[in-house]
Amino acid sequence: MIDPVGSFLNHLAAERGAALNTLDAYRRDLADYEQAASALTATRADIEDYIAGLDAAGFAPSTRARRLSAIRQFHAFLFAEGLRDNDPAAPVKGPRKARALPRTLSVEDISALLRTARTGSGAKVLRNTCLIEMLYASGLRTSELVSLPVAQVRRLPPMIPVRGKGGKDRLVPLSDRAHEAIAAWLTVRDADPKMKDSPYLFPSRGKLGHLTRTRFFQVLRAIAVDAGLDATMISPHTLRHAFATHLLANGADLRVIQTLLGHSDIATTEIYTHVVDDDLADLVFEKHPLAKKNQR
């Protein structure tokens, strides 16, 4: 018996190189959809009713848009593979997904995080400092950083190769400060019998063999609290945003930032221009003498 969802997920993994997290997200969304409609017999009306039901249940427009995107790709696959003789999802219109500006951090916030991360001594202090320095210096995705092979940084190269989403390779930079943090961490890491033989820069005893994204998130939040920052505004991803925003604010070319971040579409990178524009506007309204309220 044909498993439509299973076949689609295998297609995403084989043809697009979809990551496990991406496959899990599609699996959850399509499992929910299949509770309301059959993949091989659903009509346009069935799909529209399903999306309307999500709206009535209070799901956010972003969630409805994501679910519809998964359904469209799913039915397009079924049609292309001859498992259906039509594509009922193609004409379905969904909610417009408002694009939120990414949260970012100021240079002062980054400095506060690093000062706090360096407080104390021991392996964890060196590891945490290395994580933050590398993330801010390179703009790596969290999953790319925590799973980075130690061989990539052994010789402290100015650029390191990274395999990102969809199996795409790119080069990302390492600053002098990142090099110093890596060298200090490697000294401790390589001296520890439990870590020295690991293929990863940030080993862990968990099943993945390396520090998890969740654990790094928890570590960063704890450091943010100790630094007196609003921890709800800080995550590994906001450090990646800070990398991009600060580069753009200091004159870096948008195409270069796109390449460094591993974005396949320049439109994804362009969102940072709005962050910089908003910051500049705030600066004018706050500092310009003729922009102040009641100024004559």
Residues with catalytic function: 141, 165, 237, 240, 263, 272
- By the 10 Å C-beta count (0-12 exposed, 13-18 middle, 19+ buried), 133 is classed as buried
Angle between the 236-249 and 123-138 helix axes, to the nearest 10 degrees?
Answer: 40
Name the token pair of 67. 């679910």
246 backbone dihedrals φ, ψ, rounded to 5° = -70, -35
Distance CA 33, CA 71 (A): 8
The radius of gyration computed from the CA coordinates of the chain, to the nearest angstrom, equals 23
Per DSSP, the residues of 159-189 read: EEEEE-GGG-EEEEE--HHHHHHHHHHHHHH
* Nearest partner of 146 among 66, 228, 220, judged by Cα: 220
Measured in whole angstroms, the distance separating CA 15 from the mean position of its chain's CA atoms is 21
Do 60 and 73 touch, CB atoms closer than 8 A? no
Task: Give, in degrees to the nearest 5, the angle at Cα 146 between 122 and 126.
Answer: 15
Name the token pair of 232. 């709800």
